[in-house]
Amino acid sequence: MVRWGRTGAAYAVAPNALMSDPGSRVRPLEGGEAVLDRRSVEETGRLVEARTGGLPVRCEQMALVAGIYRAAAAVRQHFENSVLRSADLTWTGFVVLWVVWLREEPETRHVAEEAGISKGTLTGVVRTLESRGLVRRTGHPGDGRLVLLSLTERGAALMRRLFPEFNAEEVFVTGQLDEEECRYAAELLHRVVAQVALHGEERRRLLLGGERPAPRRSGRRRANGGEGADAPGDAGAEGGAEGPHGA
């Protein structure tokens, strides 16, 4: 059974459609239906093949990548409009605070890497957080070229208060999964991140004929240092898809 959902780009199918594979680890969703892409994977594949002159389409991989993007966007939007709104933080701002909170006094380059954002984006985020009295910058005692980040007492108090609320929303957004499914999904997503981290640079150079990517002409990140400079899936460094707890 197929019916159009309220999200415009999604539809709902009967839960049994998800269980066609006897070995599937996916359980039916609560409420008796699952929100999926607008068309079935097979139908979308047929449409794409028709548009490309019959070229074969890897439908499962296409559906997975689309699902990763949609999930990331939905989760980020939920957090920024709920628990992070009360602290006036974006996802990127929270992730930076998270990394600094755990690492205590990391170098800025390591914070950018673990947060999955570019160094330029980090500079703007840190400037904003510093102006709010949440982080401080200090010079590295052994190398004047390096900068260390640490939380102020105000920043540490914010994280102690905010993280339990953030974690409660993590439980909420994964409410359709049990503990085993959460572990399995996290493992699979980690493999996707590892594939890009280990082989992405080589692949990009191959696709670009050995050239480095040209500067973007549109959709450029904000230059005013706002916390929300990176959109979901637009991390400036490998590994950004892991989320705040990839640190």
- For 105, phi and psi rounded to 5 degrees? -150, 65
Across the chain, what does the average pLDDT equal?
79
Per residue in 23-48, is it b (16+ CB within 10 Å) or e — as a string? eeeeeeeeeebbebbeebbeebbeee
Both 28 and 133 in a single domain? no
Both 54 and 111 in a single domain? no
Both 55 and 151 in a single domain? no
Phi-psi group of 2: left, alpha or beta (phi > 0 → left; psi -120 to 50 → alpha; rest → beta): beta
Quickly state the pLDDT bin for 6 (edges 50, 70, 90): very low
Token pair listed for 45: 């594949």
Both 42 and 106 in a single domain? no
Both 88 and 197 in a single domain? yes
Domain, as residue range, for 233: 83-213+225-246
- Residue 117 in any domain: the answer is yes
Both 105 and 154 in a single domain? yes
Domain total of the chain:
2
* End-to-end CA separation in angstroms for the chain: 42
Both 173 and 124 in a single domain? yes
Predicted confidence (pLDDT) at residue 78 exceeds the cutoff of 90: yes
What sign for the dihedral angle of Cα 93, 97, 98, 99?
A: positive
pLDDT at position 242 is 44
CA distance 136 to 127: 9
Predicted confidence (pLDDT) at residue 13 exceeds the cutoff of 50: no
> Which of 137 and 104 is assigned the larger pLDDT?
137
Both 51 and 97 in a single domain? no
What sign for the dihedral angle of Cα 62, 66, 71, 72?
A: positive
Residue 95's CATH number: 1.10.10.10
CA 170 to the chain's CA centroid: 13
pTM of the shown model: 0.72
The pLDDT tens digits of the residues spanning 177-206 come to 999 999 999 999 999 999 999 999 999 999
Say if residue 244 is exposed, middle or buried (CB neighbours under 10 Å; 0-12, 13-18, 19+): buried
pLDDT at position 25 is 56
